[in-house]
Amino acid sequence: MAGGNNHRMKALSQRRAVCAMPVAGSYRSIDFTLSNMSNSHIQKVAVFTQYNARSLNEHLNSSKWWDFGRKQGGLYVLTPTVTTENSNWYRGTADAMYQNLTFLRDSHEPYVVIASGDCVYKLDFNKVLEYHIEKKADITVVCHDMDPGTPIERFGTVRMNGDCRIEDMEEKPLQAKTNTISCGIYVLRRRQLIEMIEKCAEEERYDFVRDILIRYKDVKRIYGYKIDTYWKNIASVEDYYSTNMDFLREDVRNYFFKQYPDIYSKVDDLPPAKYNVGADIRNSLISSGCIVNGVVENSVVFKKSYIGNNCVIKNSIILNDVYIGDNTYIENCIVESRGTIRANSRFVGEGGVRIVVESNERYPM
Amino acid sequence: MIKKEMIAMLLAGGQGSRLGVLTAKVAKPAVAFGGKYRIIDFPLSNCINSGVDTVGVLTQYQPLRLNTHIGIGIAWDLDRNIGGVTVLPPYEKSTNSEWYTGTANAIYQNLDYMESYNPDYVLILSGDHIYKMDYEVMLDFHKANNAEVTIAVMPVPMEEASRFGIMITDENRRIVDFEEKPAHPRSNLASMGIYIFNWKTLREALIAKADQPALDFGKHVIPYCHEQGKPLYAYEFNGYWKDVGTLQSYWEANMELIDIVPEFNLYEEYWKVYTKSDILPPQYISADSVVERCIIGEGSDIYGRVYNSVVGRGVTVGRGTVIRDSIIMNNTRIGEGCELNKAIVAENVEIGSYVKLGVGEEAENETAPHIYNHGLVTVGEKSVIPDGVSVGRNTVIFGETTGEDYENSCLASGKSLIKAGE
């Protein structure tokens, strides 16, 4: 599921779908889910796109990055199309699947994993499937306990009994009764899914969570599969910022970068990062293709950025291909990709993260 | 019928023995260069950037690393339905099986490969130079002069000319004579080992000289074409071109990449250098580290101080370690509190903590002074260096060494410590 937009991303999602947001220096959000699927030996993957999909489609230009280009299965990008029966956009997650029901019908795999593309995590879907079979569940929902105090009003919450069967489920409650949330990852039988979606469509209902999960919770055996490993959703500016900053922690880096299985992404053919005289880097991630001439502290610098002389970058995220002119000071900011910042500029996010979108004429490099 | 105007044959079978232990286990074209590349990436990228999409890579010496690197050529966009990259090792024949005995002999043994593409021209390249060159421009020159053979040449300082094969040309760049490493050179145009042949001329010459032992382009094929009165032309190239055949030149070429605007610029958009890269994560630079005047590859973790150096992918540099003027190749781990000066450390090396490399007086290397010189410390791949040892200059270490191998925890300047076999 990669079609959504989200107002919580503010200016960042004007440029791209949330799932195409760059994460951790060299990845995009959707890479985590796609890599998990590839590493779980799921060979047939359909990506639903709708909102502002150019950047995402560009990223998915080849299935080879995630090893999906096999003779069995493959990577399918399903965008809304006009047909003789239908001229609607995807009106919801269930509708997106309904509009591509032939794809589901023509598949032969017994099970379906539904996952969103805006989360950062590692998960072996086979384990979820084994659990699903063991519990004789109709639907298994992957859940995660959020740290107490984390605002969770933008998630779906679940309450389980001792056997992990889900008893109660609420979508984006104002006052949450639990801190267990649904990760937006579901496992169920393909025929079961087709049946539910068809019924849903008959009643002109379009959302998988609201119109299927919550309505069926007492009728079907819906189980929760809890994960206690790293899991973050990036679909708000604050969470996007903090997820990136998490990668400055050694344990998070080791978990994602050093421990098998790997996370894959599109390879960009960029030269190594280059540090010239004046470069002073402290506790930061720097990606390939960057040229650094200034000070970078507690920041994540994405691919192919140029940081000029006497610049100071603090507690910030610099997205792909940003040019920062000399003597610039940036603190607590997210600098939008392909931006060009004039020399002698100053951007400080006070009382929160500031999103910097600057598209000046780039000086010839 | 398949038809390619020009195909390339890339000679990548040589050992490159002057790189010492760096090529003990890999062919020279597979040696790492510039943080994330291997030497062969440069001619391969030149091919695809010049529109040459059919490349035969001739391998012989230690080809494993080379084969896995090239694969089916995806990294260079050379995975083609027709053409693309083909690795060509020597093979057994019903009669007269032999290794590739010389540069031209290797090409001769692959006449069938070239024939299958029905080319007009064949480009002969070697896999051990660092440069960016548009072979299409050279081909235009070749066509414009109605040449049958064109040799790329480069002007070199007159005093150095005696180290090269020298071409003597007339005012139209037609080659009138040539000399191999002449004591008194008559020209300063050095051959770069890059040739364009008309396919018919090449085939005819290779078949005519097939019985020549160790058939070589410079020694036999070019002189043969010249004797036959074929029009031979010299194509002058004035860009950056570096033969990285010695440890000193290899080290220098790496260091030149660090310059503010290097003469050889990897950051240009229009002539990208491609490589197979499997490590993606960004590099992490810790709070108390320093990185100045250096280039560092993906996924490296730097906790120490790195000055004026080229660091590959997936390298770990421990706390308090100081690295100066060095080349650290992929996936090497360096412990804490080390000091490295002018070291070339190959891939997958484990260096303990408090190790000093490149300290003490200069002394000539005792076993191979022509290889290990200029004060460099060279460490071969997969070597292990134990904690707390100090190693002098002009030294070489190769293999899993332990404390017992170091007298008083020391390897004096000029010593060689080689524990890994061929």
In a domain, A132, yes or no: yes
User: Is A271 within 8 Å of B280 when comparing Cβ atoms?
Assistant: no
Pull the structure tokens for residue B157. Answer: 């300082």
DSSP string, B113-152: HHHTT--SEEEEEESSEEE---HHHHHHHHHHTT-SEEEE
Closest CA to A77 of A52, A108, A53, A42: A53
User: Is A287 within 8 Å of B258 when comparing Cβ atoms?
Assistant: no
Query: Which residue type sits at B210?
Result: A
Q: Are residues A207 and A139 in the same domain?
A: yes
Closest CA to A64 of A41, A38, A46: A38
Q: Are residues A253 and A327 in the same domain?
A: no
Q: Are residues A307 and A332 in the same domain?
A: yes
User: Is A279 within 8 Å of B291 when comparing Cβ atoms?
Assistant: yes
Q: Are residues A239 and A278 in the same domain?
A: no
B363 and B383 Cβ atoms separated by less than 8 Å: no
Mutate to test the interface with B, among A247, A286, A293 (most CBs of B within 10 A): A286
**CB-based contact, A273 to chain B, within 8 Å:** yes
Closest partner residue to B282 among A26, A263, A276, by Cβ?
A26
CATH number at residue A83: 3.90.550.10
Task: For chains A and B, count residue pairs whose Cβ atoms are closer than 8 Å.
Answer: 106
Q: What chain A residue is nearest to B76 in terms of C-alpha separation?
A: A269
- Residue A105 contacts by C-beta under 8 Å, 6 or more apart in sequence? A194
- Residue at which a domain ends, from A257, A289, A309: A257
Q: Are residues A284 and A184 in the same domain?
A: no
B19 and B250 Cβ atoms separated by less than 8 Å: yes
- Chain A residues whose beta carbon lies within 8 Å of the beta carbon of residue B301: 253
A67 and A261 Cβ atoms separated by less than 8 Å: no
Mutate to test the interface with A, among B284, B306, B324 (most CBs of A within 10 A): B284
pLDDT at B130 over 90: yes
User: Is B291 within 8 Å of A269 when comparing Cβ atoms?
Assistant: no
**CB-based contact, A263 to chain B, within 8 Å:** yes
**Predicted pLDDT of residue A339:** 86
Q: Which region among A164-168, A250-254, B14-18, B138-142 has the lowest average model confidence (pLDDT)?
A: B14-18
Closest partner residue to A269 among B274, B283, B290, by Cβ?
B274
User: Domain tally for chain A?
Assistant: 2
Q: Are residues A178 and A147 in the same domain?
A: yes
In a domain, A265, yes or no: no
Q: What is the ipTM of this complex?
A: 0.86
Query: Which residue type sits at B302?
Result: I
User: Is A289 within 8 Å of B267 when comparing Cβ atoms?
Assistant: yes
Q: Are residues A28 and A163 in the same domain?
A: yes
Q: Are residues A326 and A179 in the same domain?
A: no
User: Is B282 within 8 Å of A24 when comparing Cβ atoms?
Assistant: yes
Q: How do beta strands A284-286 and B283-285 pair?
A: antiparallel
Q: B197 - beta bridge partners?
A: B122, B149
**Predicted pLDDT of residue B194:** 95
pLDDT at B279 over 80: no
* For range B40-62, the mean pLDDT: 95
Q: Is B34 exposed, middle or buried (0-12, 13-18, 19+ CB in 10 A)?
A: buried
Closest Cα in chain B, distance from residue A259 (Å):
12
d(CA A215, CA A196): 11
* DSSP structure class, residue A345: -
CATH number at residue A337: 2.160.10.10
- Chain A residues whose beta carbon lies within 8 Å of the beta carbon of residue B267: 271, 274, 289, 291
pLDDT at B308 over 80: yes
Q: Are residues A74 and A157 in the same domain?
A: yes
Question: What is the domain extent for residue A313?
Answer: 274-356
**CB-based contact, A245 to chain B, within 8 Å:** no
User: Per-residue pLDDT tens for B370-406?
Assistant: 999 999 999 999 999 999 999 999 999 999 999 999 9
User: Is B294 within 8 Å of A280 when comparing Cβ atoms?
Assistant: no
- Residue at which a domain ends, from A227, A257, A287: A257
Q: Are residues A230 and A292 in the same domain?
A: no
- Chain A residues whose beta carbon lies within 8 Å of the beta carbon of residue B258: 274
Instruction: Report the share of chain B in percent with pLDDT over 70.
Output: 100
In a domain, A361, yes or no: no
In a domain, A268, yes or no: no
Q: Are residues A195 and A302 in the same domain?
A: no
Q: What chain B residue is nearest to A265 in terms of C-alpha separation?
A: B280
d(CA B355, CA A172): 57
User: Is B36 within 8 Å of A272 when comparing Cβ atoms?
Assistant: yes
d(CA A336, CA B65): 40
| Mean confidence (pLDDT) of chain B | 92
Instruction: Indicate if the alpha-carbon torsion angle B258, B261, B267, B268 is positive or negative.
Output: negative
Q: Is B103 helix (H, G, I), strand (E, B) or coil?
A: helix
Pull the structure tokens for residue B228. Answer: 């036959």
Q: Which residues of chain A have pLDDT under 70?
A: 1-15, 363-365
In a domain, A266, yes or no: no
B138 and B51 Cβ atoms separated by less than 8 Å: no
* For range B71-98, the mean pLDDT: 91
Quickly count: other Cβ atoms within 10 Å of residue A105's Cβ: 10
Contacts 24+ apart (CB under 8 A), A356-361: A356/A330, A357/A11
In a domain, A109, yes or no: yes
Mutate to test the interface with A, among B130, B132, B298 (most CBs of A within 10 A): B298
Q: Are residues A216 and A286 in the same domain?
A: no
Q: What are the CA-CA distances from residue B268 to residues A326, B260, B265, B271, B312 (Å)?
A: 21, 14, 6, 6, 20
**Predicted pLDDT of residue A6:** 58
Pull the structure tokens for residue A340. Answer: 């060009």
B103 and B197 Cβ atoms separated by less than 8 Å: no
In a domain, A365, yes or no: no
- Residue A266 contacts by C-beta under 8 Å, 6 or more apart in sequence? A28, A59, A61, A62, A65
In a domain, A264, yes or no: no
- Chain B residues whose beta carbon lies within 8 Å of the beta carbon of residue A302: 282
Mutate to test the interface with B, among A23, A275, A292, A320 (most CBs of B within 10 A): A275
User: Per-residue pLDDT tens for B396-406?
Assistant: 999 999 999 99
Total-model pTM: 0.89
| b/e A251-270 (16+ beta carbons within 10 angstroms → b) | ebbebbbeeeebbbbbbeeb
